C-alpha cells in the first residue's frame, strides 16, 4: 500500500505563548513539535507498510522550521517527504491547505491518505475530510484500528461513551487517525542518519498557488481568557447539599 501521511508542526504544548502584535496568532519564538495525532498517523502508516509492503510518504506545509517534522518522519521509517515550504501556509485555512496538498500530489497514486484527527493548535479537524471531498474519495474519521481486506479496508471508529463503529470501505480512502491507536516508536540513530539521504521534494508556494483561493476563514482576534473565579455555597442539610451537588455536577457542569 502506498500511504501519504499529512503532518503538521505545532507549538509545544507547554510552550509559553505570546500573542503577535496584531493579536491574530502567536509569536513564533517558541518550541515546536509534531502534532500529536499526526505522530500516531505516521506510526500507523509505518505499521501498515510493515505488514503489507508499499511506501510511506510524509507531507507538510509550513516555513523552513517545519522540515523538522519531515525529518522525524523519515528517521522513523518514511521513505520520502514533500515540503510545501512557505511561511504563508501557517495562516492558511483548512480548505486551502487541503487544496494545496491535493495539488502537490496530483501526479501520485496513493491508496491511503492519513491525517491526524485534528491539530493541537487550530483544532479544526477539517483538512483530511476536505481532501477526501476534493479527491472524490471516501473517508472515515477518529480511526482506532485499520485492517486490510480483499475489497479494501475495515476500520474501527471511536464514537462517544465507549462505543465503536466498524466500517468497511474501498480504497483509495482518507482516514483521520486518533491519538492512542498504537504505541509510538522511537527514532534510532541509524534511522536519523539514513534520513539525511532520503528524498525530500520541496514545493514552492507559486507551484500550488493557483489551486488555492482566498482564505474563507480567518482569525479576527486572539486573547487570553479572563480568569474569573466564582464560588457558590450550597446550603441545607448534608443530604440535600449532596443532592444539589450531584445535580450541579451532572446538569450544569456536566462532569458526571
48: helix, strand or coil: helix
DSSP designation for 19 = B
Q: Are strands 152-158 and 55-62 parallel, antiparallel or unpaired?
A: unpaired
> Which three cell numbers mark 114?
492519513
Counting contacts by CB under 8 A, is residue 183 touching another protein? yes
Residue 103 within binding range of another protein, rule CB under 8 A = no
Size of the site for another protein (CB under 8 A): 19
Contacts with 107 (C-beta within 8 Å, 6 or more apart), sequence order: none
DSSP 26: B
Supply the minimum distance, in Å, between the C-beta of residue 224 and another protein.
11
Q: Report, in Å, the least distance between residue 152 CB and another protein.
A: 28
For position 184 contacting another protein by CB under 8 A, the verdict is yes
- Residues 160, 162, 168, CA angle at the centre, nearest 5°? 80
Q: How far apart are CA 96 and CA 197, in angstroms?
A: 31
Contact string (CB under 8 A) for another protein, positions 8-37, x = contact: ----x-xxx------------xxx-x----
CB of 193 to another protein, least distance (A): 6
- The H helix count followed by the E strand count for the chain is 7, 11
Among positions 168, 188, 215, 217, the unique one binding another protein when judged by CB under 8 A: 188
Backbone angles phi, psi at 113, to 5 degrees: -120, 125
Residue number with CB closer to another protein (125 or 187):
187
Which DSSP helix (H) or strand (E) runs through 250?
A: none
CB of 204 to another protein, least distance (A): 21
Nearer to another protein, 52 or 196 (CB): 196
99-107, 115-123, 173-181, 192-200 -> range binding another protein (CB under 8 A): 192-200
Closest CA to 56 of 23, 127, 7: 7
Helix, strand and coil content of the chain, in percent to the nearest 5, comes to: 35, 25, 40
Of the ranges 54-62, 127-135, 188-196, 222-230, which one interacts with another protein (CB under 8 A)? 188-196
- Looking at beta carbons only, is 103 or 184 nearer to another protein? 184
Smallest gap from Cβ 26 to another protein, in A, equals: 12
Among 187, 200, 205, 211, binds another protein (CB under 8 A): 187
CB atoms near residue 150 (< 10 Å) = 4
Q: Which is nearer to another protein, 12 or 168 (CB)?
A: 12
- Interaction site with another protein (CB under 8 A): 12, 14-16, 29-31, 33, 183-190, 192-193, 196
Amino acid at each position: 500500500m502506498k500511504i501519504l501521511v499529512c503532518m503538521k508542526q505545532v507549538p509545544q504544548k507547554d510552550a509559553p505563548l505570546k500573542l503577535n502584535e496584531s493579536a491574530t496568532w502567536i509569536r513564533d519564538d517558541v518550541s515546536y513539535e509534531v502534532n500529536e495525532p499526526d505522530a500516531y498517523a505516521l506510526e500507523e502508516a509505518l505499521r501498515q507498510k510493515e505488514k503489507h509492503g508499499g511506501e510511506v510518504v510524509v507531507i507538510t506545509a509550513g516555513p523552513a522550521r517545519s522540515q523538522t517534522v519531515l525529518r522525524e518522519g523519515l528517521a522513523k521509517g518514511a521513505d520520502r517527504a514533500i515540503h510545501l515550504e512557505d511561511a504563508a501556509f501557517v495562516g492558511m485555512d483548512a480548505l486551502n491547505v487541503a487544496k494545496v496538498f491535493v495539488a502537490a500530489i496530483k501526479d501520485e497514486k496513493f491508496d491511503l491518505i492519513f491525517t491526524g484527527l485534528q491539530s493541537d493548535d487550530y483544532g479544526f479537524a477539517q483538512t483530511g475530510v476536505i481532501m477526501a471531498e476534493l479527491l472524490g474519495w471516501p473517508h472515515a474519521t477518529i480511526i482506532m484500528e485499520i485492517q486490510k481486506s480483499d475489497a479494501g479496508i475495515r476500520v474501527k471508529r471511536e464514537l462517544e461513551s465507549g462505543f465503536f463503529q466498524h466500517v468497511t470501505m474501498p480504497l483509495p480512502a482518507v482516514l483521520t487517525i486518533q491519538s492512542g491507536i498504537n504505541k509510538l516508536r522511537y527514532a534510532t540513530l541509524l534511522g536519523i542518519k539514513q534520513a539525511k539521504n532520503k528524498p525530500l521534494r520541496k514545493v514552492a508556494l507559486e507551484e500550488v498557488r493557483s489551486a488555492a483561493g482566498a482564505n474563507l476563514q480567518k482569525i479576527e482576534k486572539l486573547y487570553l481568557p479572563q480568569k474569573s473565579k466564582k464560588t457558590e455555597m450550597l446550603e441545607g442539610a448534608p443530604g440535600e447539599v449532596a443532592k444539589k451537588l450531584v445535580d450541579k455536577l451532572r446538569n450544569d457542569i456536566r462532569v458526571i
